[in-house]
Amino acid sequence: MTTVDVVLPVPVDQTYTYGVPTEMRDTVDIGHRVLVPFGKRRLTGVVASEGPDPESVDFALKDILDVLDERPACSEEMLRLTKWIANYYVCSWGEAIKAALPSGINVKSTHRLRRTEEPPGQWVEHEQAGPLLADLEGRDDTTLSAIRKRLGTTVPLGLVRRLAAEGILEVNTQLSDARVSAKTATYVRFSAAFQHPSAAADLVEQLRGSKQKALIEALAGFREEGTPEPLRTDLLERAEASHSSLNSLVDKGMVETVEKEVVRSPLDDLPDPGPAPDHTLHPSQQEAYDAVARAVEDQSYQTFLLHGITGSGKTEVYIAALKDVLAQGRTGIILVPEIALTPQTVQRFRSHFGDTIAVLHSQMSMGERFDAWRQLRDGELSIAIGPRSAVLAPMDNLGLIVVDEEHESSYKQFDPAPRYHARDVAVMRAYLNDAVCVLGSATPSLESVMNAEWGKYTRLNMPERVPDSSGTSAELPNVEIVDLTLQKRKHQLEGALSEPLRAAIRARIDRGEQTILLQNRRGFAPVIECCDCGWAPLCRDCSVTMTVHKTRSGGRMLQCHYCGRTEPTMRACPSCNSQDLHQIGTGTQRVEDELNDVFPDAEVLRMDRDSTRKKHGHHKILSQFRNGADILLGTQMIAKGLDFSRVTLVGVVDADVGLLLPDFRAEERTFQLLTQVAGRAGRADLRGEVILQTRNPEHKALQFALDHDFDGFAASELEDRKILSYPPFGHLATVEFRGPKEARVERLAENWTKALRKHSASDVLIGDPSPASVKRVKKQFRYRTVLKSRQSQKHLQSALRRTEQSFGSVPNGYHVSIDVDAVGLL
Ligand code: ADP
Ligand code: ZN
Ligand code: ZN
């Protein structure tokens, strides 16, 4: 090849032509990564095709600088798939390819800057150079991107070069090959001089600051537990201290911080999965498997929607089909919503397929990720199991893609682009490969239900739980609704748990059975409010109230659930000075307190984002539950994939959480969550019971969940969707506008939407731009325009594409994000 067309990781919808120097002509091929000059930068791109005859090119052709691969990083199939993703989700091809390559594979240029001389006055005054020079003062060296982030403005590279030419700055441009740099974390330990165990006590004597004392004590505590170098985040959390307290200890030379590579993966702790059970499929499993197996045998594309109730044995069907695919010498991908939440599913695949599996997960270091990616690409491993991004695993010869819990919204990517839905990409990828796709769920998405109805997918049903050896199927649990309004009126409601729910839990504790309790809201109380004037603390950077959290020592603090900012609570209302502050509503921590009060003899576990933040958090809690703890309380994390035979009671503390969100899928989500969590009860010979507490007992999501009536719910909900032309009957996309100044965001949104109207076909309905329901997050204002089309997705895509091209770039610091098939209109 004398020229190549290269896809670059820039948000521009085109390929770029480069010349190939003679010495590289033999080594470059389609799918190879190449290093190219791009403006003042060097970028890594992927060769998409052979370029035009150099004679016919009417611009100055630049040459590629290097060929980075010996074997293609992107197969031709992956090029086709990513091209489809780019077209469908209206992003650039480069962005889609980037999602398919392991992070860290790309070579990027980094500019490191250092101030060398006292700058002359004219530069200090300069509008852009002034802040840059001030920022560099007193720093050893720093990267240009870090400076840009700190200053929140652009610092043109041209200006940097000019300052360098005048000798004021030193610029060092490096190619950072992140492939070799694995993920690191910061750990803390005592400095050499203070290592002796008695030194800690002396230090505590000497120090004045109570937070510094707490840090020393916590660090000594970790050491006693056999962890002399705890993670910095763990130490700060235990001592309830801030970075600045720790930094002053570092400055005093008492402790030091170390950066270490994070090598362990969450699976290291999983026990050997043991031998694979050899089940004989029961009749409805056999029927489902036969249908899938025929398609696998034919090696022709087909998508199945496997609707099997919780405990019907879907995983066994996946495993049987995967065995057939491997026997043909082909490969398979298994998508699960999140690895940490589905350890039992992962273990079952490992027990059958052992060493041929690559388990991909979010806590992998870059090195591990790259290794897994390479082994899959080279055919050393033939199965990938993982969350959303595993749908882009680089395997050849794909025979099967399974999407377990296909209704889960975590399959949709939000940021960055491509904002793809892994289920839909899975279907497309299967189609491109003459492969079979199986979408499994106990509560399929309404999109998939309709696709089956319309004949695009083949529906398979498994309406019964797996029968035991005597041939009887475990019955579905009995669901009961407790009306909280009524309970309150009868003065039977003291905390969050009603009398009937308390009695049911008590009975389980006494019989040595287990309870799962869902409260889908973390923290202690969602709001703290002044009883006298109604004041409530808002986050400084987001337009939401802060949530009350309980600290380890039993105190309270405030946390913003959108940006993570924490603040101490106040004793008195800052607005009217009243001391009458009321904590309103119920989070998991508050339920935990109540359980401990009411059932002092019970072992209670709490599983939510806060209690699982530490590594292996999920795993630890689940194994404690397996070892017989009485109650597992948690957010929606506990609703999926868990199979514990002694759980005979599932309680939903507040079934209304989520029901009233401004999202047309709110009811569908609630029905799914309730059905999924109810499915955790009574999976073996012990009959299960489910208690739903609610203030909306007549709500249809609850009423259908009461009867385990998925089809009834789907039919009723689909009717509503049809009237409003919401998916699956209409197509939907959103455009989000974001930036630091509200007036500018609003103006951008209006102008963009105006352009969008001009470029849209007549069946496209375009709403007016409006503030997102949480208007400001992390100091950024957000506006949103919603587009609908009754007829065709393509009409939305072409309008968006044309608008984006004609509108051109937006002001720096402002963003326009296109989200096709958006999920969650919050
Ligand atoms: P689902 O994924 O549909 O919730 P699972 O595949 O997890 O269901 O199956 C539920 C339970 O039944 C698991 O413990 C599994 O090992 C067991 N099981 C599944 N199929 C069979 C079978 N054919 N014979 C015996 N046990 C089975
Ligand atoms: Zn007040
Ligand atoms: Zn915030």
CA 619 to centroid of ligand 2, rounded, Å? 43
CA 581 to centroid of ligand 2, rounded, Å? 8
CA 443 to centroid of ligand 1, rounded, Å? 17
Q: How far apart (Å, rounded) are the C-alpha atoms in residues 429 and 122?
A: 59
Of 257, 114, 285, the C-alpha closest to 184 is 257
Long-range contacts, 282-287 (Cβ 8 Å, 24+): 282/313, 282/466, 282/467, 284/308, 284/312, 284/461, 284/462, 284/463, 284/464, 285/312, 285/313, 285/316, 285/317, 285/462, 285/466, 287/460
Q: Which of the ligands is closest to the CA of residue 467? A: 1
- From start to end of 495-568, where are the E strands? 514-518, 527-530, 547-550, 556-559, 566-568
Strand bridging mode 815-820 / 566-568: unpaired
**Residues lining ligand 3 (ion), CB within 5 A?**
539, 541-542, 560, 562-563, 565
Fold observed for domain 280-462:
Rossmann fold (3.40.50)
Measuring from atom 9 of ligand 1, which residue has the nearest CA? 313
What pLDDT is recorded for position 96? Answer: 94
Architecture of domain 731-820: 2-Layer Sandwich (3.30)
CA 448 to chain centre: 22
Question: CB within 6 Å of ligand 1 — which residues?
Answer: 279-282, 285, 308, 310-316, 466, 643
Q: How far apart (Å, rounded) are the C-alpha atoms in residues 520 and 635?
A: 4
If one residue of 309, 310, 315, 344 were mutated to test the ligand 1 pocket, choosing by the most ligand atoms within 8 A of its CB, it would be: 315
Taking the CA of residue 462 as reference, the ligand 1 atom at the shortest distance is: 3
Taking the CA of residue 344 as reference, the ligand 1 atom at the shortest distance is: 7
Q: Mean pLDDT for each 10-residue chunk of the chain (826 residues)? A: 91 88 83 90 91 87 83 92 96 92 64 81 84 84 81 69 79 53 72 83 84 92 84 89 89 85 52 78 95 97 96 94 97 90 83 89 74 88 95 96 96 93 98 97 97 97 85 82 90 88 96 94 93 93 93 89 89 93 94 96 94 80 91 90 85 88 88 90 80 93 92 96 92 96 97 96 93 92 94 92 90 94 78
At residue 702, φ and ψ (nearest 5 deg) are -75, -40
Measuring from atom 15 of ligand 1, which residue has the nearest CA? 313
What pLDDT is recorded for position 3? Answer: 94
Q: Which of the ligands is closest to the CA of residue 465? A: 1
Of 419, 432, 411, the C-alpha closest to 89 is 419
Write down how long the chain is.
826
Taking the CA of residue 465 as reference, the ligand 1 atom at the shortest distance is: 10
Q: Which residues pair with 436 in a beta bridge?
A: 302, 400
Q: How far apart (Å, rounded) are the C-alpha atoms in residues 354 and 358?
A: 9
Supply the CATH classification number for the domain 3-100. Answer: 3.40.1440.60
Architecture of domain 478-522+586-720: 3-Layer(aba) Sandwich (3.40)
Taking the CA of residue 348 as reference, the ligand 1 atom at the shortest distance is: 16
- From start to end of 501-571, where are the E strands? 514-518, 527-530, 547-550, 556-559, 566-568
Q: How far apart (Å, rounded) are the C-alpha atoms in residues 6 and 95?
A: 13
In one letter, which amino acid is 785?
T
What pLDDT is recorded for position 639? Answer: 83
Q: What are the strands of the beta sheet with 16-19, ordered from one edge?
A: 16-19, 3-7, 41-50, 33-38, 66-67
If one residue of 280, 466, 472, 642 were mutated to test the ligand 1 pocket, choosing by the most ligand atoms within 8 A of its CB, it would be: 466
What pLDDT is recorded for position 138? Answer: 79
DSSP 769: P
Q: Which of the ligands is closest to the CA of residue 576? A: 2
Taking the CA of residue 643 as reference, the ligand 1 atom at the shortest distance is: 14
Question: Strand, helix or coil at 688?
Answer: coil
Binding residues: 530, 533, 539, 542, 560, 563, 573, 576
CA 327 to centroid of ligand 1, rounded, Å? 23
| 215 Cβ contact partners less than 8 Å away, ≥ 6 residues apart | 235, 236, 239, 241, 245, 246, 249, 255
CA 315 to centroid of ligand 1, rounded, Å? 7
Q: Which of the ligands is closest to the CA of residue 318? A: 1
CA triplet 646, 320, 347: central angle to 5 degrees? 45
CA 447 to centroid of ligand 2, rounded, Å? 48
Q: How far apart (Å, rounded) are the C-alpha atoms in residues 559 and 567?
A: 6
At residue 419, φ and ψ (nearest 5 deg) are -85, 70
Of 179, 105, 77, the C-alpha closest to 394 is 77
Judge whether 816 and 748 are in contact, CB under 8 Å.
Answer: yes
Q: Which of the ligands is closest to the CA of residue 278? A: 1
Q: How far apart (Å, rounded) are the C-alpha atoms in residues 491 and 292?
A: 55
Tell me the whole-structure pTM to 2 decimals.
0.80
CA 147 to centroid of ligand 3, rounded, Å? 23
Q: Which helix (H) or strand (E) holds 165?
A: helix 157-165
Q: In this structure, what token pair is assigned to residue 448?
A: 């998939």
CA 310 to centroid of ligand 1, rounded, Å? 9
Binding residues for Zn(2+): 530, 533, 539, 542, 560, 563, 573, 576
Q: Which residues pair with 458 in a beta bridge?
A: 304
What pLDDT is recorded for position 682? Answer: 78
